[in-house]
Chains A and B, each alone.
Chain A
Amino acid sequence: MTQVIETSALSKHYKAVKAVNDLTVSFDENRIHGLLGRNGAGKTTLMQLLTGQLFATSGDIRVFGESPLENTTVMQRTCFIQEGQTYPDGFEPRHVISIAAGMHEKWDQQRADELVEMFELPMKRKIKKLSRGQLSAIGIIVGIASRADLTFFDEPYLGLDAVARKNFYDALLADYAAHPRTILISSHHIDEVAPLLETVTVIDNGELLMQHDVDELADAAFAFAGTRAAVDQFTGSVQVLERTDIGGLSTVVVRGPITQDAARLASDLRLDKSRASLQDLFVAVTESARKARQKA
C-alpha cells in the first residue's frame, strides 16, 4: 500500500521540551487513521510538522513523497483542521467557508451547505461569539467539504454534544465511503472514535508507542479480574501491562495473544477474562511507558 506520510527520526525540540522525539512513523493511503495520545503527547506538534507549519529540529518528513515545507503541490492536497484554530477579529463562519472553498480544488459546496444546516451553524455571527461546539463545527464542515486527499482532524469534536458528535461521524463515514481518502484523527476520547478507525497509532512524550491495524488489536490485550491471590498466581506466566488492586480484588491488563496454558490457568483460578477495550489498552501502554521513563 502507498504511504501518504512517512517520517524518519523526526524531532521537534523546544528549550525544555521534546515535543516530538526521534519519531519514525508512516500512514497508508485511503484509510482512516487514529492518532492517539494523552494531552501534551505531541499529537498537535506532529500534525503541525506534517503540514509545514513548524520547522523540524531534525529528521525527515515526506508527504505524498515530498517535503511539505513551503510546498504548494503538497499543501493543495492537504486540509488541516486544528484544535483551537484562531480566526482574525471580525470574521464570521461564512468568511472562513468562502476562503476554504477557494483553496480546495475538490471542494463540495453542496456538502458544505448540508453540513451547515446539520450543525445549525450561524453563518453571519462573529466567530468570537460562537460556542466551543460551533467553533468545532466550522472545522468539521471545512474538513469534510474540502475533500482533500489528506485531511487532518485534531481533536475535532471538542465541545460538541452527543448528537452533534454522531452527526460528525455519520457525515465523515458517508463522505469517506463515497470519496475514499486519507484521514488522520487525533483524539484522547478513544473508545468513541475507535469504531471509525482502521489503524491506531499511539504516541506518548513525543515518541511512538505502538501502531496497529484495529483488527490486529482485537487480540492485543485482555483484562483478567479476580481475587488478589489468584491474580498473583496468574501473573507469573504472562506479560502484565497494567495492574490495579482494590482491597482483595485485582485486575490485570495483559498483552495478547494469550496461550492456551495461560487461558486454562486463568479459568482454573476463576479469573474473569475480557477483551481489553482500546481505551484500556491505551491507558495500559502509556502508563507502562511512563513508569519505564521514571525508572530510567
Chain B
Amino acid sequence: MQRIKNVLNVHFVDRKGTFLVPIYILAAMVAIVIAIGIIARVAGANEADLYEGMKWNGAVWALLGMGFGIGAMTMTQYLSFALGLGITRREWLAGSSVMFVLVAAGTAVIVMVLKLIEQATTGFGLSVRLFDTVHTGPASWWQTLLQVFLMVMAAMTLTATISGIWNRWGKTGLMWLAAIAIALGVVAFGIGILLPADQVMGVFSWFGNLAWISWMGLLAGVMLIGAVAFWLLGSKAEVR
C-alpha cells in the first residue's frame, strides 16, 4: 500500500504539470467555443440552429489528448525514473493503474458536472455546446460518466501499450505495429472493394445502429485489451 502511494506520488508530485495543465486545456476549449458562439451571434446565426448544430462539436476530444500523453509517459520517462528509484515493475503497474482510474474518473466527473451546467443554462447562455454533445453520451448523467470514463481509460491504456512496445522492441517494434495496422487497413479496404456495395453499407449501418450499451461494451473491450497488454509489456520492461 505504501509503495502504491509512492507510485502515485511519482505521478502527482509535479502539481503544476499534473493539475494545472488539464485545467488550461479545459479553459482553452471553453474559451474557443464561447468565442465561436459570440462570432456566430454577431454573424446573425439563428440561436436554435446554433444550439442544435453544436451537438456535433467534437472539441471535447481534446481531453483524450491528455489521456494519450499520460499513457505514453507512464511507460517511458516515468517508468525508467521509477525503476531507477527502486520501485518494482509490479508496483509501478499497480500504482499506475490506480492513477489511470483516478484520472479517468476525475475527468468523467468534471465533464458530467459541466454538461449538467451547460444543459441547465442552455449553453452557458450563449447557445454553445461543448459538453452536452453526442460524444459525451446520451442525456443521463451516469451514461456520460461511464462513457467519458471508458474513453479516457481506453486512450491511456492503448498509448501505454504502444509506448510499452517501444520500450521493449524500440523502433523495430513500432515499425511492426505500423506495418500490422497498415496491413489490416489494406485487408479491410480490399474486402470493402470486393464485397457488393449494399453489404458494405450493411456493415456501416450495423455499427450505426449499435445500441449505446453495445458501444460501451466495445469501448470496454478495447480498454481491457490495452490494460492486459500494458501489464504484460510492463512486467518485462527494462530501463532505457
Contact = CB atoms under 8 A, between A and B. Distances in A.
**Complex: A in contact with B (CB within 8 Å):** yes
Interface of A: 48, 51-55, 70-72, 75-76, 78-80, 82, 85-92, 95, 98-100, 102-103
A88 B81 contact: yes
Contact of B6 (A70, A85, A90, A99): A99
Interface string B2-22: 010110011001101100000
A82 B13 contact: no
Given A88-B73, A88-B78, A99-B6, A71 B88 contact: yes
Contacts of B78: 88
Given A87-B81, A103-B86, 5 more contacts: A79-B86, A88-B78, A89-B77, A102-B5, A103-B85
A75 B81 contact: no
A86 B86 contact: no
A103 B85 CA distance: 8
Contacts, number: 67
A38 B197 CA distance: 68
A78 B87 CA distance: 10
B84 interface: yes
Contacts of A86: 77, 80-81
Given A89-B77, A90-B16, A99-B10, A76 B86 contact: yes
Give the secondary structure class of B's interface: helix
A53 B13 contact: no
Give the secondary structure class of A's interface: loop
A292 B133 CA distance: 74
9 contacts: A52-B83, A52-B88, A55-B238, A72-B91, A75-B88, A88-B14, A90-B16, A95-B13, A99-B13
A52 B88 CA distance: 8
Contact of A103 (B6, B16, B73, B80): B6
Contacts of B236: 55
A55 B238 CA distance: 7
Given A51-B86, A70-B89, A102 B6 contact: yes
Contact of A54 (B17, B73, B238): B238
B90 interface: yes
A70 B73 CA distance: 21
Interface of B: 3, 5-6, 9-10, 13-14, 16-17, 73, 77-78, 80-81, 83-91, 235-236, 238-239
B79 to A, nearest CB: 10
Contacts of B81: 85-88
Nearest to B239: A53
A98 B3 contact: no
Contacts of B13: 91, 95, 98-99
A146 to B, nearest CB: 9
> Can you list the 7 inter-chain pairs with the closest CB atoms, starting with the nearest?
A75-B86, A90-B17, A53-B239, A88-B77, A95-B13, A70-B88, A53-B83
Contacts of B87: 75, 103
Nearest to B5: A102
A91 B77 CA distance: 11
A76 B3 CA distance: 9
Nearest to A101: B9
Contacts of A70: 88-90, 235
A128 to B, nearest CB: 12
Contacts of A55: 236, 238
B84 A82 contact: yes
A54 B239 contact: yes
B238 A53 contact: yes
B6 A48 contact: no
A88 B76 CA distance: 9
A109 B13 CA distance: 17
A72 B85 CA distance: 12
A70 B89 CA distance: 6
Contact of A72 (B3, B10, B77, B235): B3
A54 to B, nearest CB: 5
A89 B16 CA distance: 12
Contacts of B17: 89-90
Nearest to B82: A99
A98 B9 contact: yes
Contacts of A76: 86
Contact of B14 (A51, A71, A91, A103): A91
Contacts of B85: 80, 99-100, 103
A85 B85 CA distance: 10
B105 to A, nearest CB: 23
